Amino acid sequence: MSSSLGLAVSVLLSFAVASAANFYTDTNITWGDGRGKILQNGELLTLTLDKWSGAGFESKDEYLFGKIDMKIKLVPGNSAGLVTTYYLRSHGATWDEIDFEFLGNLTGDPITVHTNIYCGGKGDREQQFHLWFDPSKDFHLYTILWNPNRISFLVDSTVIREFPNMESIGIPFPTKQPMRMYSSLWNADDWATRGGRVKTDYSHVPFTAAYKGYKADACVWANGKSSCSGSSTRPNSWMTQKLDVAGQQRLKAIQKKYMIYNYCVDTWRFPKGLPKECIAAAPPPKQRG
């Protein structure tokens, strides 16, 4: 870690805001003309899609680093053609973004968890998974952990993907632009299910995704300043969180069993060579002896 980055982390460790799980106080429903609803005194939020529109909401706060939790129950039954999103994104033409996208499927077929990372408006860092449970049958916890050293995607507190900060070798990493949390339910049957070959069946409307347990243990950005520039005795373990050896082994096992697409091995897509971060993160060749 460079001295400047180490100083930044030590300052940011000093204070962060952990918001309570209340959708009235923490979020705004931004589109959908009534298809987004906050229920149960702010503890539950639902998004509904019909043949005319889906819906979406966003966090009231912006964050510059944090651990963002959301419990989501995806659209049950035939959800082919639908996409449920949960992501962080900054503003502007050169935006940063950290994505969970859930691609619907026919009843009984697995829902695909699509992850991606954008920096400076450029993405193309997709990894996809089929999970070890049906995410439409109950609520499960999805976490985006974003600190100066890495981005981690977690499902029920298990890391399924990590993207380390490799700025030292010229690979962009989101460290400067504050991001807001967004979520939406929308129709994308031109690509979402089997490359667009399976279309949305509107005889099953309304489609509904449900949310609860939103928690942002994060550095809130407001008026050009971070809440983490103050002082506090409360530690923020997520700011320096990383996998130990056992965690790295578990991540490899999860990816070996449940990953269905990894851009870092897609030589057809990158005929001129894999992205630099894929080469940098590849394990060293085994020594012959």
Structure tokens at 283: 């394990």
- Looking at the DSSP bridge assignments, the partners of residue 140 are 72
Q: Which residues contact 43 (CB under 8 A, 6 or more apart)?
A: 21, 22, 23, 212
Structure tokens at 37: 């609803």
Q: Which amino acid is at 55?
A: A
Q: Does the annotation count 101 as an active-site position? A: yes
64, 49 contact by CB (below 8 A): no
Alpha helices, H only, 159-233: none
Q: Does the annotation count 167 as an active-site position? A: no
List the catalytic residue out of 43, 58, 62, 97: 97
List the catalytic residue out of 62, 101, 162, 277: 101
Structure tokens at 135: 């995410």
Q: What is the C-alpha separation between 257 and 199, in angstroms, rounded? A: 28
230, 73 contact by CB (below 8 A): no
Q: Based on the number of CB atoms within 10 Å of its own CB, is 183 exposed (0-12), middle (13-18) or buried (19 or more)?
A: buried
The DSSP bridge pattern shows strands 207-222 and 225-226 to be: antiparallel
Q: Which residues contact 50 (CB under 8 A, 6 or more apart)?
A: 35, 202, 205, 206, 207
- Residues designated catalytic: 97, 101
